[in-house]
Structure 1
Amino acid sequence: MSKEMEELSPLGDSGHGDGSEEETEEDDEPKICQVCGDKSTGYHFNAMTCEGCKGFFRRAMKRPAQLCCPFQNACVITKSNRRQCQSCRLQKCLSIGMKRELIMSDEAVEKRRMQIRRKRMQEEPVMLSPQQEAVIQELVAAHRKTFDMTCTQFIQFRPLDRDQKSMSENSREPKSDKSYTNMYKPPPEEAIQRTFSFSSLSSPSSSPQSLESKERKWLKSAIFTSLPHFADLTTYMIKNIINFGKTLPMFRALIIEDQISLLKGATFEIILIHFNMFFNEVSGIWECGPLQYCLDDAMRAGFQRHLLDPMMNFHYTLRKLHLHEEEYVLMQAISLFSPDRPGVTHHSEIDRNQETLAVTLKTYIEAKRSEPDKHLLYPKIMACLTEMRTMNEEYTKQVLKIQDIQPDVSPLLLEIISKDG
């Protein structure tokens, strides 16, 4: 900022009064600056001055160099010539009673600026920009176009077989959705700790080696009755996610290799987000239109506890945030545009897209939420995104294990989790 602009700036230390209103005499005539005769804006550093002389005095007192008059130390300071002799102007400031000790430090001035900005932000409601509104509308439209929230397609998949005979002897699952729902309604804390058919594998006394051996034996002896249904379900979900990405202009603008890398990296995470929309945090059941799923259905598809336990925790944590549809779709878009996925080449472009989406999510929360603790929602969502990343690798490992034992995994899923292009 130039000296001339700084002199015109109303922000600064006044030393007396706030300088926000013009001081006037009783006859409504404006007061004048006691230094140069210009129009005064109030008391600054203990004297009636204009903004220009206020700024000059503050700078002069912070300046280490001595000022010298080029004339006879008797210059008459006026509005028109006040910049010609800094020495006499400073002497005039001191002679009318301006005090150096009333000048605020740079730290205090910055603190005051921050307070003013904060006050303005509190007074002015946060609004989504037209560009952010357009991004949200685009994402919601893409989501609704590519994913049917009624889940009517699910009944066309191969049946979800819950035949107890195909499980180990410890299974206690009832055969029907209705009886399961009526019987199983524990609180979330108990639901997370549910006992699975293979719970004996994870006893505290089991060593990692014996646990892995028992797990392999269990996997080989089990018949994964839910796997055909889950294979169809996964194929359906992956196709929706691919179509979701292809619907977004910012995704289509990427090179095809990066599109593939992003889809491979984000598919599992977006499936989790989709299913969280159906999760009942009271019963621990996914209520997907005509069908209901419990955690043991995933176990009957071959998935194991060290994936299912953190996955269940994740669903309770995210569902308790009670996200809006807009927040869900922004969350899945942030997951999709992750520049650190394996195989990504144009990192900076994807990073810019992700930053735009993250800022849009944060602004949406500030603009649309009214809860007193709404400022905590954004970091909680970001923590859930991080948690999904930690489960992604374990999910891939378990899918490959299941495929080795019972080759009924979706070919499209195998392509998604493959490490080659």
Structure 2
Amino acid sequence: MCILQIRMSKEMEELSPLGDSGHGDESEEETEEDDEPKICQVCGDKSTGYHFNAMTCEGCKGFFRRAMKRPAQLSCPFQNACVITKSNRRQCQSCRLQKCLSIGMKRELIMSDEAVEKRRLQIKRKRMHEEPVMLSPQQEAAIEELVTAHQKTFDMTCAQFIQFRPLDRDQNSMSEYSREPKTGRYSNPTMHTRPPEDGVQRTVNLSSPSSSFQSLKKNTDKRWLKGAIFTSLPHFTDLTTYMIKNVINFSKTLEMFRTLIIEDQISLLKGATFEIILIHFNMFFNEVTGIWECGPLQYCLDDAMRAGFQQHLLDPMMNFHYTLRKLHLHEEEYVLMQAISLFSPDRPGVTQHNVVDRNQETLALTLKTYIEAKRAEPEKHLLYPKIMACLTEMRSMNEEYTKQVLKIQDIQPEVSPLWLEIISKDGC
């Protein structure tokens, strides 16, 4: 995957009066005194201070810098005795330069182009720290559109989940939970019970995610797993189909998505749907218990295993959910993350790469600006690169996810046509 890059907008040519007519970029020895006359010692115009060791105006300051950097020799068309004034200072460059040198202007005080650019950047950084970062009206509108699209197309209460085919768990699974009647909701997801391996009931404490996850992998009896596999696949098929439809509806709500040609829309959806579903589920993930708390239902890692998914996918997926959830993202940051994933120009089949790339850069810059403008934590500058790293991690899981779904379909043909269409690499 290409790491997301942000091309910042071009800097203004003049940040302050810097450059050829700038004030103070090379005036390292300005020692103005109040009682000195404020006139240019070269042409008599109003002076702006000491430049290159002499009191000059902005015009003569810039002229001296350019003349010293210019390789051509200057010559006077008259008698090398021109009187330089404000009105005629452009008429004879040779005599004007000699006047500059005669009053003590020094070539060695001229800063290099690299030094000028470095100072310009320092001034810009200082101003950025002094002036509060604010979202532009266009960025505010983009965020509002994304949040509205998300809220319209995805029910955060997950009320629809109870309409899916039942999540057929082993009778011992999640038995330590306090289950509410009718809804199937588990009220205290702190422990998860596994089936007995040697006649002794054991529990895995999900409040210690790393150790319990490794223990679950090592101790799961292969014969039990083979017998229990695919029992939750019907529910996951319904769930995934429902989530795919939400992603499609979310994308179609966005103006910048609708303006793309239909072939690119399909390519982007095929590439990003798994990643956007991951982001959706991260909003429900409890990083303390390792449980996805989806309204009336709650899911644990065993449920994904019983749908047929294997550790090559589940290991990095679990790490991803812990990493992203611990960032405690705002809803705005979540939806911007979804949109950045959607508008990935390097998805297979995308033809309008430049258009998609510009959209992604706009969204990425909006996310970066949002963090700077809305976050107050001292470490907020680390949040943006952490989010980008999570996006990269999702891309690395995407291919393995496709392989495993196709493998599940070969063994247990339960995957829905829409699900297969999304993961297919063929054209529409």
Judge same fold: TM > 0.5, yes or no.
yes
Separation (CA, whole Å) in 2 of partners of 1:18 and 1:403: 80
Aligned pair partner of 2:294 in 285, 288, 300: 288
> Are the aligned partners of 2:24 and 2:51 in contact in 1 as well (CA < 8 Å)?
no
Paired residue for 1:167? none
Separation (CA, whole Å) in 2 of partners of 1:36 and 1:48: 11
Paired residue for 2:278? 272
Paired residue for 2:252? 246
Q: Secondary structure at the match of 2:41?
A: coil
Separation (CA, whole Å) in 2 of partners of 1:18 and 1:295: 71
Separation (CA, whole Å) in 2 of partners of 1:64 and 1:256: 58
* Letter paired with 1:25: D
Paired residue for 2:242? 236
* Letter paired with 2:291: I
Q: Secondary structure at the match of 2:243?
A: helix
Separation (CA, whole Å) in 1 of partners of 2:258 and 2:177: 41
Q: Aligned in 2, Cα 1:65/1:419: closer, same or farther, shift over 3 Å?
A: closer
Q: Aligned in 2, Cα 1:24/1:78: closer, same or farther, shift over 3 Å?
A: farther
List gaps (5 residues or longer) in structure 1: 165-171, 202-216
* Letter paired with 1:118: R
Q: How does 1:11-410 map to 2 (within 5 A)?
A: 12-17=25-30, 24-25=34-35, 31-164=38-171, 173-175=173-175, 177-178=177-178, 181-183=189-191, 184-196=205-217, 199=220, 221-410=227-416
Q: Secondary structure at the match of 2:55?
A: strand
Query: 1:190 offset after TM fit, Å?
Result: 2.3
Query: 1:404 offset after TM fit, Å?
Result: 2.0
Query: 1:140 offset after TM fit, Å?
Result: 0.4
Deviations along 1:225-267, whole A, 9 cap, x unmatched? 2111111111111111111111111111122222122111111
Query: 1:18 offset after TM fit, Å?
Result: 8.1
> Are the aligned partners of 2:84 and 2:96 in contact in 1 as well (CA < 8 Å)?
yes
Query: 1:7 offset after TM fit, Å?
Result: 5.4
* Letter paired with 1:185: L
Percent identity of equivalent pairs = 81
* Letter paired with 2:381: H
Query: 1:336 offset after TM fit, Å?
Result: 1.1
Structure with the bigger percentage of helix: 1
| More divergent stretch after superposition (121-130 vs 177-186) | 177-186
Paired residue for 1:10? 23
Aligned residues: 390
Deviations along 1:7-54, whole A, 9 cap, x unmatched? 5433531142288xxx6538xxx6111111100111112211111111
Separation (CA, whole Å) in 1 of partners of 2:125 and 2:84: 39
> Are the aligned partners of 2:20 and 2:65 in contact in 1 as well (CA < 8 Å)?
no
CA RMSD of aligned residues (A): 2.4
Query: 1:221 offset after TM fit, Å?
Result: 4.5
Separation (CA, whole Å) in 1 of partners of 2:349 and 2:300: 35
> Are the aligned partners of 2:19 and 2:25 in contact in 1 as well (CA < 8 Å)?
no
Q: Secondary structure at the match of 2:293?
A: strand
Q: Secondary structure at the match of 1:84?
A: coil
| More divergent stretch after superposition (76-85 vs 59-68) | 59-68
Q: Secondary structure at the match of 2:23?
A: coil
| More divergent stretch after superposition (356-365 vs 102-111) | 102-111
Deviations along 1:139-184, whole A, 9 cap, x unmatched? 10000000011111111212212124xxxxxxx7343643882423
* Letter paired with 1:302: G
Query: 1:391 offset after TM fit, Å?
Result: 0.9
Paired residue for 2:4? none
Deviations along 1:291-330, whole A, 9 cap, x unmatched? 1111111111111111101100000111111111011101
> Are the aligned partners of 1:163 and 1:175 in contact in 2 as well (CA < 8 Å)?
no
Separation (CA, whole Å) in 1 of partners of 2:42 and 2:251: 67
TM-score for the superposition, normalised by structure 1: 0.86
Query: 1:72 offset after TM fit, Å?
Result: 1.5
Query: 1:373 offset after TM fit, Å?
Result: 2.0
> Are the aligned partners of 1:162 and 1:175 in contact in 2 as well (CA < 8 Å)?
no
> Are the aligned partners of 2:264 and 2:350 in contact in 1 as well (CA < 8 Å)?
yes
* Letter paired with 2:25: G
* Letter paired with 1:181: P
| More divergent stretch after superposition (334-343 vs 135-144) | 334-343
Separation (CA, whole Å) in 1 of partners of 2:213 and 2:385: 23
Query: 1:126 offset after TM fit, Å?
Result: 1.4
Query: 1:195 offset after TM fit, Å?
Result: 1.2
TM-score for the superposition, normalised by structure 2: 0.85
Paired residue for 2:199? none
Query: 1:61 offset after TM fit, Å?
Result: 2.2
Separation (CA, whole Å) in 2 of partners of 1:140 and 1:163: 38
> Are the aligned partners of 2:21 and 2:61 in contact in 1 as well (CA < 8 Å)?
no
